[in-house]
Amino acid sequence: MSTGEILRVRTGMKPISTVPKALATIDVSTGEATKAHHQRSDVCAVPAAGIVAEAMVALVIANAVLEKFGGDSISETKRNMDSYLQSIPAVLKSFEG
């Protein structure tokens, strides 16, 4: 639920795993057993997580708009939303920013 104010989201994420030593694996091209490359994974993934979080918020908001206003096309959904906004009493509209 939103009051129409700017949305602020606070989230967290776990660090990317670092494999302490090379693990046993299989070379898919030859089928032979080998060791995986040891790789540090201490890069910062926060900027990428921010993009993913923003996209998820947009999807949730879009889903809520479709649930509230429905429609088989964008123009129908917009028409339904405009009709809803016109039905809001003028006293409530005076609080818009």
pLDDT for 64 equals 92
Q: What is the pLDDT of residue 95?
A: 58
Count helices and strands in the chain by DSSP H and E runs? 3, 2
Per the domain annotation, does 25 fall within a domain?
no
pLDDT at residue 22 is higher than 70:
yes
Contact by Cβ (8 Å): 38, 22 = yes
Give the per-residue pLDDT at 81.
92
Which string of DSSP letters, residue by residue, matches 10-28?
----PPPP--SSPPEEE-T
* Boundaries of domain holding 88: 44-97
How many domains does the structure of the chain reveal? Answer: 1
Residue 18 has which token pair? 């670092």
84 falls within a domain: yes
Where is mean pLDDT largest: 1-5, 74-78, 86-90? 74-78
Across 2-11, 17-26, 63-72, which has the greatest mean pLDDT? 63-72
In a domain, 10, yes or no: no
Assigned domain for 95 exists: yes
Tell me the helix, strand and coil percentages in the chain, rounded to 5.
40, 5, 50
